[in-house]
Structure 1
């Protein structure tokens, strides 16, 4: 097991904790990470773009004028794709862009993403933020002390003070362990775990 220092909000080492090899020492395969990240991104697409075919356009199907003798080119329905306001040929239709990824693969990718942070030495553990009020400046000072930016913070509980204090700091995101995902881990340069969240992550991925 990898051993990492546990820091307090003043940046001082207060203890050490173990990161289980089963989760934090998984061999990284970019193809697996790519598959899961792609599935996350396409799931955000609404897929609501749609156009009407001639059968969906409201209007009469009566022939516009007789076939011969008017001097005009022959014409049928007003709903024809050839006419203004008519239907669209082979236009977009509502669809789902979702890519199904097996649960085991998603779990494996999460382990790989966490392991990549250990390999890059960009993972930090803090005992607690101890934010008594909702104040951006207080959190910014803690992060400055820890020399951390472009950061994903993982907490084991709904820490309202932490969540709201981080809202106005650029390139910072706070999530609970239940919401931990591959895309966010890879998107941010640094990963900051609240010490109590490690057990929750272990329970989720073991």
Structure 2
């Protein structure tokens, strides 16, 4: 016995329009927006608490092109532009051609001031002062700071020194919640780098107030190594963060970085 197939027979097989992502990926979740950073005591680097930091500051993707542009801009701005290379009009030679134009079998040459000569003048010589400075959009430069900090955080080279205001943690003897040390002798720095096995690494100390770490500054100046530097938070450049293999930054300075370089980011 045959059954008549009508349009109403296929009404149950109509394809429904997918309007929600949750129907396709029922277990999908949004990635976390924050990472955990450890607060440490100095100089033992003993951890005592953690606090959340937005991923935009410590977990931004690596952008080598942005870091390159920031480093080039900083190096351009360091150029003094005080050189006065002699131009063709400033050189001591005359304007007479060294050889006649034709008949010698040699290539055509100009006068002795030509830049192709060994003792010739400089082509397009400039007179001081020369301004070699360049600029970047603020959003791009801020992204370079966040990228550099994120790279240091992922590599485990970022150490945040401080203490929570409501914390009751007691530090070990000789430790503190800032980068200041109890003596200005270089022996303290020698013990610090040897105990953490970082003798051959570039160390960067970022402080909230440059004058509050007088002992640390004097001890580093007396220490026989050029791989250690102390900078106030406003003086730190992207190149300093990239060059450093260990970064020790005070909590207040880190908060300043978070406020200063996320101005154009919607958190």
Say whether the fold is shared (TM-score over 0.5): yes
Q: 1:42 aligns with which of 63, 76, 82?
A: 76
Deviates more, 1:111-120 or 1:134-143: 134-143
Q: Is the 8 A contact 1:50 1:91 kept in 2?
A: no
Q: Is the 8 A contact 2:67 2:144 kept in 1?
A: yes
C-alpha displacement of 1:108 = 0.8
SS at structure 1 position matched to 2:134: coil
Show the counterpart of 1:76. none
C-alpha displacement of 1:152 = 1.3
CA deviation string 1:61-109 (max 9, x = no partner): 9xxxxxxxxxxx9xxxxxxx648xxx94735224433222112211110
Correspondence 1:164 to 2:225: no
- 1:144 and 1:99, CA in 2 relative to 1: closer, same or farther beyond 3 A? same
Q: 1:152 aligns with which of 204, 208, 233?
A: 204
- TM-score for the superposition, normalised by structure 2: 0.60
CA deviation string 1:159-200 (max 9, x = no partner): 222222222333111111111211011112221112232112
Structure 1 unaligned blocks of 5 or more: 62-72, 74-80
- 1:155 and 1:147, CA in 2 relative to 1: closer, same or farther beyond 3 A? farther
- 1:187 and 1:89, CA in 2 relative to 1: closer, same or farther beyond 3 A? closer
Between the aligned partners of 2:259 and 2:65, the Cα distance in structure 1 is 25
Q: Which has the higher contact order (CA 8 A, sep 6+)?
A: 1
